[in-house]
Amino acid sequence: MRALVYTGIGQLEMRDVPDPEAEFVVKVLGSGICGTDLKTYMKGHHFFPPPAVLGHEFYGTVTKAPKGSGYSGGETVVVAPYAECGVCPICKAGAETLCKNKSFVDGGAFCEYVGVPASYVPTGVFRIPRPDDIFALVEPLACVQNGVGHLRLKEGSRVLVVGSGPMGALFALVFTAKGIPVTVVEPNALRRDIVASWGIDVREPGQMKIGDYDNVVIAVNKKELVSDYLKQVADAGTVLMFAGLAKDEQVAVDAYSVHYREVSLVGTSGYAMRHFRQALAMVGDHKDIFSRVITHRMTLEEGKEAFGLLSEGKAFKIILKP
Ligand SMILES: [Zn+2]
Ligand SMILES: [Zn+2]
């Protein structure tokens, strides 16, 4: 099959690679480019030494299913890229994203076919009602759901999303779908215009009073922002560090805010299967809202161009279609 292969920092090429040998195979219809894929392409990633096929936000058609799997050829499905074990003490404690016994899909999705181990099918594969690129958003939305779950939202809460890259934009749309007032802060005028066209309140940095907001989502990887917003968020507010920082990076915390103002700093990465199921229900219910974030659909052959657009901040979500 044809695959878009990451061959080193800043390098992607189309190659012929062996078809997957798994018992359950999905023909990829669309696969979203994630922040992690972009980071790998631009800086490398210890999880993905080249050569590697990236991509984990995908949906497609079942082309091979073993007897007794409950699936038959031609059904459309979305596949979670990983799933927690569900039985270890960490899973039982509700911190499933930290499970050390996760199971995974075989390989990336920027290609024609993805293999799924038969044992993974009952936990990680979900039927979808129709082939639709909106289902490539289930995984990133699951990560957003995990983040939202760590906020302290209450009656009358106002949320500030810092940064409207693809994930910041998805957060803003999730709060819109939930009917929670949200403001987005974004320095890039092009991104501001797009978010404003969705009817979302969007400001330049400095154009709002941070103390008016009790929940802040930091969707940009700048540590100074974490310190600034923590110091200025409303009393009893929560700041979510959603964008990751480099390992060993230190963040300055205003002690007065934490102690006397009961402000919390929390962080999340990834999702648990309950978030994946919530996200799947959410995209089904609000297709009109979430489809806005898909700004480009491109072929695998155009992959390099797609990564270029993302690295220049000229796109939100790009779906690669084999
Ligand atoms: Zn992702
Ligand atoms: Zn576990």
Instruction: Determine the Cα–Cα distance for residues 99 and 97; give it in Å rounded to an integer.
Output: 6
- Whether residue 24 has pLDDT greater than 90: yes
The alpha carbon of 36 and the centre of ligand 1 are apart by a number of angstroms equal to 7
**From CA 150, how far away is CA 53, in angstroms rounded?**
32
Q: pLDDT, tens digit, for every residue of 231-259?
A: 999 999 999 999 999 889 999 999 999 99
Count of CB atoms within 10 A of residue 52's CB?
17
Query: d(Cα 318, Cα 150) in Å, to the nearest integer?
Result: 27
Label residue 27 by pLDDT band (50, 70, 90). very high
Please give, one letter per residue, the 3-state secondary structure of 170-231: HHHHHHHHHCCCEEEECCCHHHHHHHHHCCCEEECCCCCCHHHCCEEEECCCCHHHHHHHHH
Mean pLDDT of 179-199: 95
- Ligand 2 centroid to 93 CA: how many Å? 9
CA of 96 to the centre of ligand 2 (A): 6
Residue range 151-267 in CATH 3.30.1490.20: no
Closest listed ligand to the CA of 101 = 2
pLDDT reported for residue 106? 80
The whole-number pLDDT of residue 196 equals 97
| Residue 139 Cα to ligand 1 middle (Å) | 6
Nearest ligand, CA 273: 2
pLDDT at residue 311, rounded to an integer: 93
Residue 161, C-beta contacts closer than 8 angstroms, at least 6 positions apart: 168, 171, 172, 175, 182, 183, 184, 185, 216, 217, 219
pLDDT at position 23: 93
Share of the chain above pLDDT 90, in %: 96
Mean pLDDT of 88-95: 97
pLDDT at position 195 is: 95
CATH architecture assignment, domain 2-138+270-321: Alpha-Beta Complex (3.90)
**Domain residue limits, the chain:** 2-138+270-321, 151-267
Q: pLDDT tens-digit profile of 110-137? A: 999 999 999 999 999 999 999 999 999 9
Predicted confidence at residue 281, as pLDDT, reads 96
pLDDT value at 83 more than 90: yes
From the CA of 91, the nearest ligand is 2
Phi, psi of 63, rounded to the nearest 5 degrees: -110, -15
pLDDT-derived band at 107 (thresholds 50, 70, 90) equals confident
Residue 174 has pLDDT above 90, yes or no: yes
CA neighbor of 217 nearest in space, from 188, 195, 239: 239
Span 56-76, average pLDDT: 96
Nearest ligand to the CA atom of 142: 1
CA–centroid distance, 37 to ligand 2, in Å, is 25
Q: What is the mean pLDDT of the chain?
A: 96
**Ligand whose nearest atom lies closest to the CA of 146:** 1
